[in-house]
Structure 1
Amino acid sequence: MKILKIQALRGPNIWSVQRKKLIQMRLDLEEMEQSPTNKIEGFRERIEAMFPTMIEHRCSEGTRGGFFSRIERGTWMGHVIEHIALEIQTLAGMETGFGRTRETKTPGIYNVVFSYTEENVGMFAAESAVAIAEALIAGTEYDVEGDIQKMREIRERVRLGPSTGSIVDEAVARDIPWIRLGTNSLVQLGYGINQMRFQATITCKTSSIAVDIACNKEQTKRMLDLASIPVANGGICVDEEDLEITVKKIGYPIVIKPLDGNHGKGASINVVTWEDAVSGLAYAKKYSHRVIVEKFITGFDFRVLIIDNKLVAAAKRVPAHVVGNGKDSIQALITETNKDPRRGYGHENVLTEIDVDRDTLDLLEKLNYTVDSVPKNGEIVYLKSTANLSTGGTSVDVTDMMHPENIFLCERISRVIGLDICGVDIMAENLTQPLKENGGCILEVNAAPGFRMHLAPSEGLPRNVAAPVIDMLYPPGKPSRIPIIAVTGTNGKTTTTRLLAHIVKNNGYKVGFTTSDGIYVQNHMMEKGDTTGPVSAEYILKDPTVEFAVLETARGGILRSGLGFSRCDIAIITNIQEDHLGLSDIHTLDDLARVKATVVRSVKKDGWAILNAEDDQCLKIANELSCNVAYFSMDENNPTIQQFAKEGKIVAVYENGYITIKKGEWKIRVERATHVP
């Protein structure tokens, strides 16, 4: 078998308007076209042994085990590859379920289509599925687990982080469109002039001065101290001389951490000797030239999340640890703990796997342990000095236990520093008493705090902390979209697009439009060339000056990667004529109509499809639409137009030199045709 082409569809497409993320693989079965699965000895047994979970694939049978029944009766390899591609993605932790396999007009060549969650993973799954199928046919060994791990690694490299992902998910739930800007976590919500941007948990509303203050731990501490907020005693050190002065002033035990650190990197906790203090200083200096030395406060590590100056969640963070059983070594206990299904690779799960690093070995050394030591039954052995989730820590939700005095304190801190999304780290025995009573203090204030510990705590209630972010960016009544008119057809698209853009501009909107000769914003040509595909549409929707989009949409872009927008307000098909047939599996007028129909099928429920009443294909398409439909014709005596007008449908005609709109018995003359430039 031979893969001829793999492409990713990213918007409404010819296979589905709802399922926007599809991989389309063009596959030549070669000699396997003559060998359906029932002619390959032992094929069913081998695929069932390799993928026992495929019993859940119902296939067209609609019953559990339906796919295996199809294999038993005989099905073609393209269909098998579609199911393998879906299954290996699911096994790698990416739930997908939609697939289609269709033979093209060329015998033995199939389009294998399946859904994906991460595009790069979907591409890899297509190639892997073909290789797995070939191994199953030949009855040879195949390292499926290796491919699944590779897919997890690709996903970790390209996916949005848990915080960014949660905000995107909340936006999608509220029908707010989003575009990823580049390959990192920078995301645009909304279109055109109504867009908002964010990266991780920094938004376009976040003050850069506030971020600078939060990143400067010394400045933060000074400002909090001046605002009568309890902070730990200490100072900034750059060498051993500074360290000695600070230790004399505050006494042991101390905490040493880099001034510009994050995720707990380079920190040493509960240091009680001069030797440990010196090595802690050297460790912290790997991450920052200047180092903070503070009094070590005993208690628990709490993180409080404030969004838009209101408390939304609080969590108690517990450092990565194991509990002894009197039998197993620390290394064996770590291995067992990492088997928890909630722990995963990187950010893929609620918790991160625990790894052994310098910090772990230092802590064990203080206890006179190594990784091979066997702790007593019930003994808790801490493996990290900080409670960050990214180092294997766990979190317990304590939002509902916070004392009102502490809520007031944290909300005030967010205003003192000036952050719209603010993480406050507190060390205290508990948050149920005011900090001034239990001796707790503020350790630091974080810009871009992680959401993972609140979204899915190890214990306690999960909190939807992404919702207040969207509430802040899009308060009730603020739109996220801009009006979109999409124009497709065989002839007249560019003229129609230009005319519409002219009408829209004359109605006071800043208009962006794409045509086969370039991209325009407010009649200024931004890019020259044929710009009728999804990339050009996205260009307009990304432009923060555009209030209204008119997009010429040609078939090439639809076939290549789908539409560049999730839905439009108005879609127009000028006509469907025999043009460029024989390219990209488009051999007949019906094939061409199916491609063009993608545009009108993406119109929102209360939007309008505008169709050519003189075109039989357009009339056929109209029957499958769930939006409003209006028709046009050059001939007011066209029987179809007369019939539609009688039925009370809205029609536009050219009569007596005028462009005229008709409904039932009445008509409005819009303009004399000669007056239209």
Structure 2
Amino acid sequence: MSRHDDIKLLRVNYLRGPNMWTYRPVLETWLDLGALEDYPSNKVPGFTDRLTAALPALAEHHCGVGERGGFLQRLVEGTWMGHVLEHVVIELLNLASMPTGFGQTRSTSQHGVYRMVFRARDEQVARQALAEGHALLMAVINDEPTDVAAAVERVRDKVDDCYLGPSTAAIVAAATDRRIPHIRLNDGNLVQLGHGARQRRIWTAETDMTSAIAEGIARDKDLTKDLLKAVGVPVPAGSVVKNADEAWEAADDLGLPVVVKPSDGNHGRGVTLDLKKREDIAAAFEVAERHGSEVLVERYIPGNEHRLLVVGGQVVAAARGDEAWVTGDGKHTVEELVELQINSDPRRGTTEEFPLNRLDIAEDAVIQLDLQRQGLSATAVPAAGQRVLIQRNGNVAIDCTDEMHPDVAFQVSLAARTIGLDIAGVDLVTSDISKPLHETGGAIVEVNAGPGLLMHLKPAAGNPQPVGQAIIDHLFSSDETGRIPIVGITASTGGNNIARLVAWLLHLNGRHVGLSCSDGLFLGNRRVEHRRGARWEAAHRLLMNRGVDAVVAESNAGVILQDGLAYDRCAVGVVCDMGGLGTLDDHDIRTEDQLFKVLRTQVDVVLSDGVAVLNAAEPRLVEMAELSDGEVLFYALDGSNAAITAHRAKGGRAVFLRSGAAVLAQGQGETAGANIDALLQRFAAAGIATDAQTLLAAVAAAWALHISPELISAGADTFVPALTH
């Protein structure tokens, strides 16, 4: 078989917001199949068998058939390679733990050229998956060697590099369940939840309510103990020491056994437990000193270590640690036994997706000390049946939330409130969490800011806890969504005039308005950027601005095709016309039906309690009314327009022109509105071209925002069309 030339990737574009394909971000790729246009899947010998051998889970893909095995049916019947590439990429993402269910492939007006899209949570991950899928597909087509595992690993590595960590992802997922939008603010885990003035921010499990003073206190373990002791929370006695000799003196005063740890360490680093000998305490001092600025010696509290998560003053999850042991066989070294008996556990790994950590004796000085205390080293060979302690209370990952005694929850909550943390990980040692601490002699040993959530989300044993939901409920009350009013205006011409008038009316209604339109970027009445603002980036900047409590954003079909919309949903979506076809050839949009699919995006994102504002004089826009999740408000110059008449008969709202003034009608009721003729004259005097229909769209959008007819009228009378800033 002669080798087929590679499918050409003509262009790859990341659509960052709602688009003609879907509500969510996608990677759009233009493909030129070349000679493969004449070789669908059933005409390449052995292709289907080789592909399904490489990716057996393709049998689960429904495809257009709508049932399991649907895609395999298409392969056997014959489908084009652009469609096959879509499914290969989706399957690679699934295998890399980035599940993706959406994809589409459509032909263009050019022979052999297709547009293929797939759901893409992260652009870099999507581009990596596309590259791997492309290479894999060509290898299968040409009957060349493939390495699916290596391809999946490369995609997974990109996921680990680029995507949110599991703790942050859980919080964001909980926000999404509440319909709260989010914006990622950096390449790490800094995320904005909500928009504008109603936003909150998280950085993993820290929030914009987390006190910097409280974080500083939590880092100082000695100060933390003093404050907890002052309010009656049980803590282990202890003191700060400056050298190994002082450590021994402190241990002698406290009574053996003791714990030696850094005063400002974290994640348990440098903490050595149950010390009874002077030489062991001296060695532990050296380890602790490497991990913190000061060293603490504390009375040892017998029992298991527990981590309790406090959110907004309430304990929402608890996990218990356990000791790690190996049993000798007289053949293998301690290091080998750790690999065979501990690290072989599939729950252990080096990344955050694993609830238990791999143990590395060479890298863990505390494990080395514990082995020395047992007279062993990593290379020692324990006798058959000899039990060797490797780690004390490591991997706090056994859920015990339901076992917690109310008094324990009270003491832990008090500890977090005393330090001043809104979210805290409280470390507690007790022999039985189902009993009060005064009965078990338990104590709180640390309070930590920015706690990890994985132990509660994916425990090694027990039930996962909805900690992401608890954090979202802490940040937003039950009736809050973090949303501000967003008005999206899609027009081929005049959108800037509509946007500016709507922004002015919102301003008069008491809003701090951000506006992005063709005239620039505005905050209130001040133009902060002169270059064209009808862009994704400009509107997106407004959504991030904490001083903005309403946004008006102009776009057109080209913006939607190039980037998608900057917002996931809007309160009001305005679609003004079906113009612009001659400017969209680069996107292969050449017919009204194609343009309709692009423009409907603005209607698709209207909230269920929002309003779609549509030009009733455009029959294709009238068709969009049934696509709106919210109310529909029609506007047109002629109040006897058939669509308006039918809409009013059903009690719907409409705006039209009568004797030079806007009429706001609902059902059979009518209210006189803005003086459109006078406003047109002011536009003309300022040298700005516009028309009455454009201004009616702005009046309709303002009314959709529940701005009163009286204020709309007054606002139209005071609006200054000229740009003076």
**TM-score, normalised via structure 2 length:** 0.86
C-alpha distance 352-538 of structure 1, shift in aligned 2 (>3 A): farther
Question: What's 1:5 paired with?
Answer: 11
Question: What's 2:267 paired with?
Answer: 263
C-alpha distance 614-443 of structure 1, shift in aligned 2 (>3 A): same
Q: Residues 24 and 111 of structure 1 are in contact (CA less than 8 Å); yes or no, is this contact kept in structure 2? A: yes
Give the distance between the partners of 1:637 and 1:412, measured in 2 at CA.
Answer: 68
Question: What's 2:617 paired with?
Answer: 614
Give the distance between the partners of 2:74 and 2:12, measured in 1 at CA.
Answer: 26
The aligned runs of 1:438-449 (5 Å cut-off) are 438-449=440-451
| AA at the equivalent of 2:634 | Y
Question: What's 1:495 paired with?
Answer: 497
Give the distance between the partners of 1:118 and 1:185, measured in 2 at CA.
Answer: 13
Question: What's 1:605 paired with?
Answer: 608
1:164 Cα offset (Å): 1.9
C-alpha distance 231-616 of structure 1, shift in aligned 2 (>3 A): same
Q: Residues 542 and 548 of structure 2 are in contact (CA less than 8 Å); yes or no, is this contact kept in structure 1? A: yes
Question: What's 1:48 paired with?
Answer: 52
| AA at the equivalent of 1:512 | G
Larger mean Cα displacement after TM superposition, 628-637 or 539-548: 628-637
Q: Residues 533 and 556 of structure 1 are in contact (CA less than 8 Å); yes or no, is this contact kept in structure 2? A: no
1:356 Cα offset (Å): 4.2
The aligned runs of 1:330-345 (5 Å cut-off) are 331=336, 334-335=339-340, 337-338=342-343, 340-345=345-350
Question: What's 2:703 paired with?
Answer: none
Q: 2:471 aligns with which of 469, 472, 491?
A: 469
C-alpha distance 476-345 of structure 1, shift in aligned 2 (>3 A): same
Question: What's 2:596 paired with?
Answer: 593
Q: SS of the counterpart of 2:99?
A: coil
Q: Residues 27 and 110 of structure 1 are in contact (CA less than 8 Å); yes or no, is this contact kept in structure 2? A: yes
The aligned runs of 1:271-310 (5 Å cut-off) are 271-310=275-314
Question: What's 1:403 paired with?
Answer: 405
Give the distance between the partners of 2:121 and 2:674, measured in 1 at CA.
Answer: 49
Larger mean Cα displacement after TM superposition, 332-341 or 277-286: 332-341
C-alpha distance 50-230 of structure 1, shift in aligned 2 (>3 A): same
C-alpha distance 343-107 of structure 1, shift in aligned 2 (>3 A): farther
Q: 2:378 aligns with which of 370, 387, 390?
A: 370
Q: 2:151 aligns with which of 147, 153, 165?
A: 147
1:643 Cα offset (Å): 5.0
1:575 Cα offset (Å): 1.2
1:346 Cα offset (Å): 0.7
Question: What's 1:390 paired with?
Answer: none
Q: SS of the counterpart of 1:583?
A: helix
Give the distance between the partners of 2:614 and 2:295, measured in 1 at CA.
Answer: 69
Give the distance between the partners of 2:598 and 2:477, measured in 1 at CA.
Answer: 38
2:283 maps to 1:249: no
Larger mean Cα displacement after TM superposition, 486-495 or 216-225: 216-225
C-alpha distance 231-593 of structure 1, shift in aligned 2 (>3 A): same
Question: What's 1:15 paired with?
Answer: 21
C-alpha distance 654-187 of structure 1, shift in aligned 2 (>3 A): same
Give the distance between the partners of 1:600 and 1:396, measured in 2 at CA.
Answer: 48
Q: Residues 329 and 375 of structure 1 are in contact (CA less than 8 Å); yes or no, is this contact kept in structure 2? A: no
C-alpha distance 295-623 of structure 1, shift in aligned 2 (>3 A): closer
Q: Residues 307 and 396 of structure 2 are in contact (CA less than 8 Å); yes or no, is this contact kept in structure 1? A: no
Larger mean Cα displacement after TM superposition, 268-277 or 624-633: 268-277
1:582 Cα offset (Å): 0.9
1:74 Cα offset (Å): 1.6
1:501 Cα offset (Å): 0.7
Q: 2:586 aligns with which of 578, 583, 586?
A: 583
Q: Residues 651 and 666 of structure 2 are in contact (CA less than 8 Å); yes or no, is this contact kept in structure 1? A: yes
2:534 maps to 1:526: no
Larger mean Cα displacement after TM superposition, 355-364 or 468-477: 355-364
| AA at the equivalent of 1:5 | R
| AA at the equivalent of 1:402 | M
Give the distance between the partners of 1:535 and 1:322, measured in 2 at CA.
Answer: 57
Q: Residues 324 and 333 of structure 1 are in contact (CA less than 8 Å); yes or no, is this contact kept in structure 2? A: no
Aligned length: 669
Give the distance between the partners of 2:251 and 2:297, measured in 1 at CA.
Answer: 8
Q: Residues 8 and 123 of structure 1 are in contact (CA less than 8 Å); yes or no, is this contact kept in structure 2? A: no
Question: What's 2:695 paired with?
Answer: none
1:70 Cα offset (Å): 1.8
Identity %: 35
Q: Residues 533 and 554 of structure 1 are in contact (CA less than 8 Å); yes or no, is this contact kept in structure 2? A: no
Q: Deviations over 1:396-443 (max 9, x none)?
A: 222333333323322222222222222221222222333233222221
Q: Deviations over 1:197-246 (max 9, x none)?
A: 12122222222222111111111112223333332233223433433443
Q: Deviations over 1:238-272 (max 9, x none)?
A: 43343344344335433222222111223333344
Q: SS of the counterpart of 1:566?
A: coil
Q: 1:539 aligns with which of 535, 538, 541?
A: 541
Q: 1:571 aligns with which of 551, 570, 573?
A: 573
| AA at the equivalent of 1:383 | I
Question: What's 1:214 paired with?
Answer: 218
C-alpha distance 479-623 of structure 1, shift in aligned 2 (>3 A): closer
| AA at the equivalent of 2:414 | R
Give the distance between the partners of 1:63 and 1:189, measured in 2 at CA.
Answer: 36
Q: Residues 305 and 396 of structure 2 are in contact (CA less than 8 Å); yes or no, is this contact kept in structure 1? A: no
Give the distance between the partners of 2:12 and 2:348, measured in 1 at CA.
Answer: 33
Q: Deviations over 1:489-531 (max 9, x none)?
A: 1111000000111111111122111111322121122333222
| AA at the equivalent of 1:334 | E
Question: What's 2:351 paired with?
Answer: 346
CA RMSD in angstroms comes to 2.6
Give the distance between the partners of 2:354 and 2:560, measured in 1 at CA.
Answer: 35
1:73 Cα offset (Å): 2.1
Q: Residues 156 and 348 of structure 1 are in contact (CA less than 8 Å); yes or no, is this contact kept in structure 2? A: no
C-alpha distance 67-281 of structure 1, shift in aligned 2 (>3 A): same
Q: Residues 47 and 136 of structure 1 are in contact (CA less than 8 Å); yes or no, is this contact kept in structure 2? A: yes
Question: What's 2:391 paired with?
Answer: 384
Larger mean Cα displacement after TM superposition, 187-196 or 316-325: 316-325
Q: Residues 264 and 386 of structure 1 are in contact (CA less than 8 Å); yes or no, is this contact kept in structure 2? A: no
Question: What's 1:239 paired with?
Answer: 243
Q: Residues 304 and 315 of structure 1 are in contact (CA less than 8 Å); yes or no, is this contact kept in structure 2? A: yes
| AA at the equivalent of 2:339 | I
Q: 1:69 aligns with which of 59, 70, 73?
A: 73
Larger mean Cα displacement after TM superposition, 111-120 or 126-135: 111-120
Q: Deviations over 1:299-340 (max 9, x none)?
A: 211122222222222221125555668887653663565554
Q: Residues 319 and 396 of structure 2 are in contact (CA less than 8 Å); yes or no, is this contact kept in structure 1? A: no
Q: Residues 238 and 289 of structure 1 are in contact (CA less than 8 Å); yes or no, is this contact kept in structure 2? A: no
Q: Residues 322 and 337 of structure 1 are in contact (CA less than 8 Å); yes or no, is this contact kept in structure 2? A: yes
Q: SS of the counterpart of 1:450?
A: coil
Gaps of 5+ in 2: 1-6, 680-715, 720-725
**TM-score, normalised via structure 1 length:** 0.92
Q: Residues 320 and 354 of structure 1 are in contact (CA less than 8 Å); yes or no, is this contact kept in structure 2? A: no
Give the distance between the partners of 1:45 and 1:569, measured in 2 at CA.
Answer: 50
Larger mean Cα displacement after TM superposition, 554-563 or 298-307: 554-563
Give the distance between the partners of 1:333 and 1:235, measured in 2 at CA.
Answer: 35
Q: Residues 326 and 337 of structure 2 are in contact (CA less than 8 Å); yes or no, is this contact kept in structure 1? A: no
Q: Deviations over 1:88-142 (max 9, x none)?
A: 1111122221111111211122111112344322221011100000111121112
2:668 maps to 1:660: no
Q: Residues 248 and 281 of structure 2 are in contact (CA less than 8 Å); yes or no, is this contact kept in structure 1? A: no
1:79 Cα offset (Å): 1.0
Q: SS of the counterpart of 2:521?
A: strand
1:665 Cα offset (Å): 4.4
Larger mean Cα displacement after TM superposition, 313-322 or 208-217: 313-322
